[in-house]
Amino acid sequence: MDNTARSFGDDFPQDARVQHAPTPEQAPEEADAGTPVTGASSADLPQRRRFALADLLLFAGLLAIIVPTLVFVAKSTWSTEEGAHGPIVLMTGIWLLWTKWPSVRDAVRPPPAWKAALLVVPLLLLLPVTRITQIVEIEGYVMYATVLAVAYALVGGKVLAKLAFPLFYLAFMFPPPETVIYAITMPLKIGISEASIAFLKLFGYPIGGTGVTIQIGQYQLLVAAACSGLNSIVSLSALTIFYIYVRHGNNLRYAVFLLLAVVPVAVAANFIRVLILILLTYHAGEATAQGFMHDLAGITMFATALLLIYLLDLALQRMMKKRHSSHKQPAAS
């Protein structure tokens, strides 16, 4: 593990390395032979090849850990509405790491081997157990923790701290645990159902219901988890975090404020979505409401929620500029 970690030294600038000047007796011989003068002796060449081989073996091992789990996650959740944001998070997260790496590469300081082993070995032993259980949430998070532990062994904790945002953001590509989903979605589903019934009663629609079941005319609808707003909350939170980081950097207060706005925006968007589906069912029939229009309503409401987050950001920026300018005027006078 130490040899592999030391190979990251190739990324450091040349002026940070120790250069060995050739002796006067060696320089004429190398010039006559037409070979360039380098700082490495011939004894170092086989050692560098071993480092390259170790890096290759490490890369193959990481692929063996990452690829099967990502394939399982993609088949289980990324093809559904609950996890449709997963591929977006994966691609944008890798892009963030790629762009951030040049600014942190000089901070690479691998920890002692025994510290790295305390993290890596237990997780490597736990990972096969999680794959046997075939629980996508557990396997995904354990795999990601294993990758982070290996990254700590290679580059050290200082680099991981500087890459904290991209690493935290990448965790959104895995679905939240089902127990958490059930605990959160049930109150949201009941609240959206009751609000929809009360709103449409104001316009004289023959509607009623209990819990998450809605009865309008001869049709009966069930408010599913997809309409509760949780899926939008998770997806909007991930994309809002990415938007804040790209546009505003590490502004923690601003990020917290916008993230707090995600919950009401997502719930309001899904409330409108449920109203649209109820009205489509009543006026156009159940087949129309549960077909293409059902998916279109979901996509439209999600896009609307993203637009509301963006407009809220613009409004906050204008308010902050006005406040900043108002503080400057008395000081100037």
Can you spell out the DSSP letters for 208-226? EEETTEEEETTEEEE--GG
Query: Count of alpha carbons within 13 Å of 91, Cβ hemisphere only?
Result: 5
Torsion over CA: 67, 73, 76, 81 (sign): negative
Q: What is the pLDDT of residue 228?
A: 56
Report which of 312, 325, 155, 194 is spatially closest to residue 248, judged by C-alpha positions: 312
109 is catalytic: no
Of 49, 247, 273, 318, the catalytic one is 273
Where helices occur in 85-229 by DSSP H, the ranges are 86-104, 113-133, 136-155, 157-162, 164-170, 178-201
Residues of the chain with pLDDT under 50: 1-21, 23-51, 332-333
State how far the Cα of 25 lies from the Cα of 37, in Å rounded to an integer. 13
- In order of 5, 41, 269, the CA distances from 112 in angstroms are 10, 28, 50
Residues 135-142: contacts with CB under 8 Å, at least 24 apart: 136/72, 136/73, 136/76, 136/77, 136/174, 136/175, 137/174, 137/175, 137/176, 137/177, 137/178, 139/69, 139/72, 139/73, 140/69, 140/72, 140/73, 140/173, 140/174, 140/175, 141/171, 141/174
CB 147 within 8 A of CB 66: yes
Q: What is the pLDDT of residue 186?
A: 77
CB 164 within 8 A of CB 109: no
State how far the Cα of 81 lies from the Cα of 322, in Å rounded to an integer. 40
Beta strands 207-210; 213-216: pairing state:
antiparallel
Burial status of residue 236 (CB atoms within 10 A of its CB: 0-12, 13-18, 19 or more): buried
Hey, how many other C-beta atoms are within 10 angstroms of the C-beta on 62? 14
323 is catalytic: no
Q: Token pair of 86, please?
A: 């997963």
Of 131, 227, 247, 318, the catalytic one is 227
